[in-house]
Amino acid sequence: MVLSMRTSRTGSAIVLLLFIVGCASKQPLDRYASNVVFTVPYAQSGNQLASGFTQQTPVDSPAAQNLIQAVLRFHGLTKVSQFTIEALNVEAVVAGFGPSRNLDDVVSDLSEDKRVQSVQSLKPYTLMSYNDPYFALQSTVNGDQIDSIHQISTGKNVVVGIVDTGVDRWHPELINNIVYTKNLVDSDQDSFDNDEHGTAVAGVIASAANNDLGIVGVAPDVQLMVFKACHQEKTSRRTSCDSLSIIKALSDVLVQQPDILNLSLSGPRDAIIERLLREVYRNGIVVLGAVDESRGLAESFPANMEEVIAVGTAINIGGGFTDVLLAPGTDMLTTAPGATYGFKSGSSMATAYVSGIVALMKEHNPALSNAEVYGDLRASARFDENDLPVIDMCRAVNTTIESAHECERIPSMAGSGQGITSSFQLAN
């Protein structure tokens, strides 16, 4: 995916530049055409795996390792890497094969091997994006009476997990909210802090309030866990992620157990990701996924899973959006690397916006399930000028706490001097 949001600061002046963002993967094609992932049960000899997810250290069961080596030799494969997925009780092996062999043939041969539990190709994914002095510029949250809503809920004691690129951990809007980070892509922490898409998503959810800076997040007191599964190139700023890095991130999500999981990304169906997300769902974590609005819900994985709450914007809405929750996602002012800000649009930002709303809801009712959250959000929807049902933040929060707070829509307070002085495929 390409994320081309630029922001710069000169003295105390913030210059906001908006770029239309395209989504394209820059991973070399041969990574997908010449590698497969297969799994085997890790407890081959009855040994128990130490608790936790290990990216680099595979299970040390001799029987499991002998089995893996036997499979590799039999099929003429070379091991690229190996890691444990404790939640699924499997050892995953990334294996490569020569240019003379066909990917489909290798997958077919491994699928017929009774020693192998599952086999699949690697798949590319895209992050979904099109392309407090500033509180008055936040027309969306301003119109949603965010300052009034924050008198009753701010997301306190709620943890939101973000599977995305990295996030600027030192951004003054986010520094006190980030409680955990994990880099599943590389060991470059400088790159982690300079990633744009994840920083934008985090800012919509959790930018600090009443800090005499920039903007206000939907849930400013929420805690963030950041799982970097997507890589942003330093020069082109293009962003790419694949099923392997997302599998590793979701494995760690199951260890860390956030309350909410934000997936502002979309790609082809993947069997292991599907299994992991069902485990996430069974663990009571509310999962929200961005819809690729150029394709519709049916072709937007993982948003099209029953266990995932699908979120989109009112932009380019066509067929296949009956079960999609619509939320604001156009020209959202949010955080950018280097303690700066920028405008972002797309279902990534809409998904982050709804993740923040869910955090406000769960502050007062931590036991809310995916199904209950979805029902409350849909029941709270209001109809916009195009007769489309859009989530109403105030009503959604009120359904959770049975508040008598009035939910009339109000005009933007731009220029009024009122309100909070404070303190976005990844997806389209």
Spatial contact of 264 and 426, defined as CB atoms under 8 Å apart? yes
What is the pLDDT, as a whole number, of residue 255? 97
**Is the pLDDT score of 420 beyond 90?**
no
Average pLDDT score over the chain:
80
Reported as type and span, the H/E element at residue 63 is helix 62-75
State the DSSP code for 238: B
Q: Which residue would you say has higher pLDDT here, 24 or 65? A: 65
Instruction: Give the pLDDT confidence score for residue 176 in this predicted structure.
Output: 96
- Other beta carbons within 10 angstroms of residue 134's beta carbon come to 17
pLDDT for the residue numbered 212: 83
Model pLDDT for residues 255-278, shown as the tens digit of each residue: 999 999 999 999 999 999 999 999
Return the beta strands (E) in 123-249 as ranges.
124-128, 159-164, 178-183, 223-228, 230-232, 239-242
Per-residue pLDDT at 226 exceeds 90: yes
8 A C-beta contact, residue 156 and residue 366: no
> Could you tell me the two tokens for 384?
């916009």
C-alpha span between 13 and 8 (Å, rounded): 9
Q: In terms of CATH, what superfamily is 129-401?
A: Peptidase S8/S53 domain (3.40.50.200)
For residue 424, is pLDDT > 80? no
The better pLDDT of the pair 413, 68 is held by 68
Grade residue 336 by pLDDT with cuts at 50, 70 and 90. very high
Which of 131, 19, 48, 142 is CA-nearest to residue 394? 142
Percent pLDDT > 90 in the chain is 52
**Residue-wise DSSP of 74-129:** HHT-EEEEEEEEGGGTEEEEEEE--TTS-HHHHHHHHHT-TT-SEEEE--EEEEE-
Cα 31 to Cα 121, 188, 419: the distances in Å are 10, 21, 51
- Identify the pLDDT of residue 356: 97
Is the pLDDT confidence value at 289 over 60? yes
How does pLDDT run across 65-88, given as a tens digit for each residue?
999 999 999 999 999 999 999 899
Q: Cα angle vertex 298, ends 296, 301, to 5°?
A: 95
Residue that the structure tokens 């002085």 belong to: 421
Residues near 259 by Cβ (< 8 Å), separated by ≥ 6? 158, 159, 160, 285, 286, 359, 362, 366
76 or 388: which leads in pLDDT: 76
Where does the pLDDT of residue 32 fall: very low under 50, low under 70, confident under 90, or very high at 90 and above? confident
Reduced to 3 states (helix: H, G, I; strand: E, B; else coil), residue 310 is strand
What is the predicted pLDDT for the residue at 45?
Answer: 40
What is the band of 147 on the pLDDT scale with cuts at 50, 70, 90? confident
Report whether pLDDT(234) > 80: no
Average pLDDT over residues 25-46: 69
CATH 3.40.50.200 domain span(s) along the chain? 129-401
Which residues of the chain form CATH 3.30.70?
Answer: 31-123
Give 428: exposed, middle or buried? Use CB within 10 Å, 0-12, 13-18, 19+: buried
Q: Percentage helix, strand, coil, to 5, in the chain? A: 30, 25, 45
Binned at pLDDT 50, 70 and 90, residue 172 comes out as very high
- The C-alpha atoms of residue 186 and residue 199 are separated, in whole angstroms, by 18
Split at pLDDT 50, 70, 90, the class of 399 is confident
Q: Is residue 116 a contact partner of residue 71, using CB atoms and an 8 Å limit? A: yes
Strand order in the sheet with 78-85: 78-85, 90-96, 35-41, 118-121
Split at pLDDT 50, 70, 90, the class of 190 is: confident
Q: Note the pLDDT of residue 137.
A: 53
With cut-offs at 50, 70 and 90, classify the pLDDT of residue 380. Answer: confident
Place of tokens 């985090």: 202
CATH topology of domain 31-123: Alpha-Beta Plaits (3.30.70)
Is the predicted pLDDT of residue 23 greater than 80, yes or no? no
- Indicate the pLDDT class of residue 314, thresholds 50, 70 and 90: low
- Residue 116 is predicted with a pLDDT of 96
Residues 6+ apart with CB under 8 A from 242: 25, 27, 31, 32, 122, 123, 124, 125
The pLDDT of 324-353, averaged and rounded, is 91
pLDDT of residue 60: 65
